[in-house]
Amino acid sequence: MISVVTGAAGGMGRIIVRELARRGDTVVAVTRSVAQFEHENVEVMTADLSSLDDVRRLAAQITARHGALHLLVNNAGAHFRDRVVNADGVEMHIAVNHLGGFALTNLLLPTLLAGAPARVVNVVSAAMTDTRQMKIGRHPRPVTLEPTPLTDLNGEAGFEPFTAYARAKLLTLMAGYRLAETTTGVTVNAVNPGVAGTKIVDDMMPAFMKPFGAMVKRSMLTPEQGADAILRVATDPDLEGVTGRYFDRETEARSPEISYDRALQEWVWTSSATITG
């Protein structure tokens, strides 16, 4: 079995790589910079997923080395406190959390089909259902999405980093639903692993909470617990052939209502494909 894991150097990523390697997979661990892993059957490849040129180079490197793939875990994620755009003019939450994985999945799709039955697992976030960082009151604030050019999404006016992060994860979820409907031989599912005490939590934490960061993270899931939810969707034999689903940790669940809008799904796919080529 040949597996690819992005965000492999992060808290959950390292655990996913370790457990896949332990079961005997050859694991392509995609990291932003060179990293070391304990198992000999781990191949480290570096890439900046905010750069489409780098994603294309990565995909070419993977396919040159492996003629068939059996699993792709789009685990990479990032949170940015300020609004920044990449070389293509796309806001960085969308560039890293959506377009990087979208482009990589499509570039690797022929190689995944060669390894069929294969799986794609997109790691998303419950932030899609409630973009409030402080959950005060009973009414959640789901992320919104309007069909506008992707280069205009998460614009400067009213920019909120956590909402921008949630919107990018929603794009990934919806593109995955669209791919699942049109692909045979490769299943595509999304999973929210829960809020685990990883580095991205440090990036998201409001400044006034920083002094209590260690205590806050102790109240969260461990990286191992978060990774377990991802690994289940990636490897559970009972999920063979299951596609187009969203899992809230171990439980199949309903994602935000907007994610089921077929017209919006098509817009997400077309807009993303236009930018990524």
For residues 178, 180, 181, 182, the Cα torsion angle rounded to the nearest 10 degrees is 90
Q: Where are the beta strands (DSSP E) in the chain?
A: 2-5, 26-31, 42-46, 71-74, 118-123, 186-192, 246-248, 251-253
* pLDDT class of 212 with cuts at 50, 70, 90: very low
H or E, element range at 24: none
For residue 245, what are the domain limits? 2-194+224-276
Angle at 79 between CA 33 and CA 2, to 5 degrees: 45
Q: Is residue 202 part of a domain?
A: no
pLDDT above 70: residue 224:
yes
Higher pLDDT, 148 or 199: 148
Give the pLDDT confidence of 33-59 residue by residue, as tens digits.
999 999 999 999 999 999 999 999 999
Residue 259 in this model has a pLDDT that exceeds 60: yes
CATH number assigned to the domain comprising residue 114 = 3.40.50.720
pLDDT score of 98: 98
Please, are residues 58 and 50 in contact by the beta-carbon 8 Å criterion? no
pLDDT at 201: 55
Which of 72, 71, 120, 79 minimizes the C-alpha distance to 96? Answer: 79
Pick the closest to residue 141 from 152, 151, 126, 153 (CA basis): 126
pLDDT in tens, 145-194: 999 998 999 998 889 999 999 999 999 999 999 999 999 999 999 999 98
Whether 168 is in a domain gets the answer yes
Percentage of residues in the chain having pLDDT higher than 90: 77
Question: Mean of the pLDDT values across residues 242-249?
Answer: 97
Average pLDDT, integer, range 244-271: 97
Here the tokens at position 215 are: 């205590």
- In this structure, is residue 31 part of a structural domain? yes
User: Is a pLDDT exceeding 60 seen at residue 205?
Assistant: no
Alpha-carbon dihedral sign for residues 15, 21, 24, 25: positive
Q: Please tell me which residue, 125 or 195, carries the higher pLDDT value.
A: 125
- Residue 50 covered by a domain: yes
Residue 185 lies inside a defined structural domain of this protein: yes
Percent of the chain as helix, strand, coil, to the nearest 5: 45, 15, 40
pLDDT of residue 217: 53
CA 244, CA 221: separation in Å to the nearest integer?
A: 26
pLDDT at 90 over 80: yes
Lowest mean pLDDT among 13-17, 201-205, 238-242, 247-251: 201-205
- The answer as to whether 203 is a domain residue is no
Q: Do the domain assignments include residue 68?
A: yes
Does the residue 144 lie in any domain? Answer: yes
pLDDT at 219 over 60: no
pTM score: 0.90
Tens digit of pLDDT for each residue in 55-89?
A: 999 999 999 999 999 999 999 999 999 999 999 99
Q: How many domains does the chain have?
A: 1
pLDDT on residue 143? 86
pLDDT attached to residue 110: 98
**pLDDT, mean over the chain:** 91
**Each residue of 102-144: pLDDT tens digit?**
999 999 999 999 999 999 999 999 888 877 765 555 677 788 9
Residue 189: predicted pLDDT: 98
**pLDDT tier at 203 (50, 70, 90 boundaries)?**
low
